[in-house]
Amino acid sequence: MDFLKGEIMAVDKPYRMSSFGALAHVRYVMSKRLGKKVKIGHAGTLDPLATGVLVLCTGKKTKLIEQLQTHTKEYVATMQLGATTDSYDREHTVNRTYPKEHISLELIRSVLPQFIGDISQVPPTYSAVKVNGDRAYSLRRKGDSVELAPKTVRIDEIEILDFNAHEKTLAIRVVCGKGTYIRALARDLGRALGSGAFLTSLRRTRVGDIRVEDCVDFDNVAEWLDKVLTE
């Protein structure tokens, strides 16, 4: 493989690491092995609390990043019903609790169809969306109030994987298009259920044809590089 000329690879991004942090580690290891600085970029950000497929492009293949970002993505998400957080995930503590005793599997099934197809979705204010040149999350962390305009996103499929009626936890598989925030889906699903919801875990299992099973284990990037560079 010629990483200086251009390759496409994917790593399984670890929990609590930014996409840039993961990319920087791969670039460091790769540049050290090759003795030259490698041009590298990623095709689609993952939140620090999310894990899974992070597609990386090197060399001339970085020109394909925009195209790769349009590919369909698949996620497995777990959420806690009956409560919300500022960031719609576990990055922040619970800020409000809601009634949840009425939530049943039948109710969940009845509201899911409204989230299929082209839908209007307001991005989370704790996100990288830009507001007058500033990242929304930077403004929120400074204590500023942020209002974001809704965007049209596409969700092709939502499959219920597990529902714990006692704990009111839900696991779903989501197939969606570019720009869809699963955290925002959790927020909106909670509202549709007459309650609240926030993500407790998120794993990107596929980007286009690249599945998480095809990814390089992040802790073994150096060993993987040594192997492919000698083949």
In terms of phi and psi (left: phi > 0; alpha: psi -120 to 50; beta: otherwise), the region of 147 is beta
Is 162 an active-site residue?
A: no
| Contact criterion met (CB below 8 Å) for 72 and 154 | no
Distance separating alpha carbons of residues 135 and 20, to the nearest angstrom: 15
Q: Count Cα atoms within 13 angstroms, Cβ side, for 215.
A: 24
Contacts 24+ apart (CB under 8 A), 62-65: 62/6, 64/8, 65/41
Contacts of 9 (CB under 8 A, 6+ apart): 55, 56, 58, 216
**Which one is catalytic: 47, 162, 209, 219?**
47
Distance separating alpha carbons of residues 16 and 76, to the nearest angstrom: 17
Q: Is 165 helix (H, G, I), strand (E, B) or coil?
A: coil
Please state whether beta strands 216-217 and 8-13 pair in parallel, antiparallel, or not at all (unpaired): parallel
Rounded (5°) CA angle 45-47-50: 115
Distance separating alpha carbons of residues 118 and 152, to the nearest angstrom: 6
Catalytic site positions: 47
